[in-house]
Structure 1
């Protein structure tokens, strides 16, 4: 276990220092640092393979791959939700509530923080106002959160049920179990985020350049295309703010940002079915927790 925490420190230091030179949005940079704090070398590997610019001026092309967009989307979700989940786990420790209630508290805290802060607040420039951002990010955060908690609950509850030393945040085993559980949540949430990104309901990586240096031709074309797409969506939002296909343009300070295309291509009916699927994933995780662990035990 000591080796786990040592490799986490090394991985976080590497990502925190190296990512400063990566032309990525600030919220995504913080997300990678946070996910690395949860997962150590696994998070650092995700950063290198999915976001780190291999050569100057190539970030737009590099992160355009669908799987990299999905990794970015999932990472962003788990980083925000994970903070809320950990806060809830610390707050509820030792107050004597049953494990099933603790899981629901962690779900609530995680969803609210991930939705209102990491999604709506940090991404408000893409939607014009905070209120609009809240409306447009609610469903995507809900679907992703259900998958995260499904995977996390299936690991956390059985582990803590058989290891009383992992129940309290004053011990190292608690943080180890929570870290491993969040990694499980990340893996379970990948397919759901793939669907969300594929349907244009979520974005993954972005490119933010603060200088005026010219980009290679292909990269410049990617930035220009993204800017034109965003302008079109701003017009849609202005005429129909409630439209699920409306994605507003970035604010003026986003002029150098290479936002990736978010063009919703799914119906409300299909979104409704996927919402049910996401709750089913959470339910399966809860069922596994009950079969392999003890949901009635007191924390």
Structure 2
């Protein structure tokens, strides 16, 4: 009777541990994909803005670069531990495609819905706030997607067998960069906050210049004021 009672207590604890482990793995997998997507999104919007392209091309370029950077960041670690490049890419395509697709749909939809975000320049508060909102929404959507994939042995579960392998110490593979997810997330957050600060400073400076011009213009246009000088 006591053994059965203990077993009943162990099962919820084990289940809770598995649920917590699954959630933490899903969060880690999502952050890994999100960094690549964010780099691609920002790079794509910068390219489209610099080239003077419309919203349609901006979205196309951003999505293309997001998949490129997302796949690259997942492929490099596998190649570095000795997996053949094409084999590594095939594993990553199976592991990350659904997650990245979910992020991209959410991210671009939110950017389109945020008023003025797609048309705003890079030195614009609306752009950076919209980007932060869209990436947060993409993260929240992708976490349950990755958790569902992991529960079925898919998604990032396909790359787990390579995580404990030692990196190559000789040959061309040793020159491949190691890019920890935490470091990438920190750099990305710092970059976006920097863009937001620059945009706020630029807008404040523009408003100051406009108000200064507005106060001096009446005096310049008023003959009586000019005569008193």
TM-score, with structure 1 as normaliser: 0.45
Match of 1:129 among 69, 84, 87: 84
1:132-281 matched pairs, under 5 angstroms: 132-159=87-114, 162-163=115-116, 167-203=120-156, 247=161, 250-253=164-167
CA contact (8 A) 2:94 2:155 kept: no
- Inter-partner Cα distance in structure 2 for 1:203 and 1:246: 7
The 8 Å contact of residues 128 and 250 in structure 1, kept in 2 or not, is answered as no
Report the CA distance shift for 1:87/1:73 in structure 2 as closer, same or farther (over 3 A). Answer: same
Separation in structure 2 between the aligned mates of residue 245 and residue 71 of structure 1, nearest angstrom:
15
C-alpha displacement of 1:170: 1.7
Question: In the TM superposition, what is the alpha-carbon distance from 1:143 to its structure 2 partner?
Answer: 0.8
SS at match of 1:170: coil
- Correspondence 1:69 to 2:25: yes
Q: Deviations over 1:88-125 (max 9, x none)?
A: 11111153433122112111000001102x11013435
Which of 1 and 2 has greater Rg?
2
Unaligned runs of 5+ in 1: 1-60, 205-243, 255-299
Distance 1:164 1:199 in 2: 37
Alignment of structure 1 residues 41-120 onto 2, 5 Å: 65-116=21-72, 118-120=73-75
Distance 1:127 1:183, change over 3 A: farther
* CA distance in structure 2 between the partners assigned to 1:165 and 1:189 by the alignment: 22
Answer yes or no: is the 8 Å Cα contact 1:81–1:110 preserved in 2: yes
Q: Distance in 2 between matches of 1:89 and 1:142?
A: 21
Decide which structure has greater helix share.
Answer: 2
Secondary structure of 2:154 counterpart: coil
**How far, CA to CA, are the matches of 1:64 and 1:183 in structure 2?**
21
After TM superposition, the runs of 4+ consecutive aligned structure 1 residues lying more than 6 A away are 61-64
> How many residue pairs get matched?
152
TM-score computed with the length of structure 2 as normaliser: 0.57
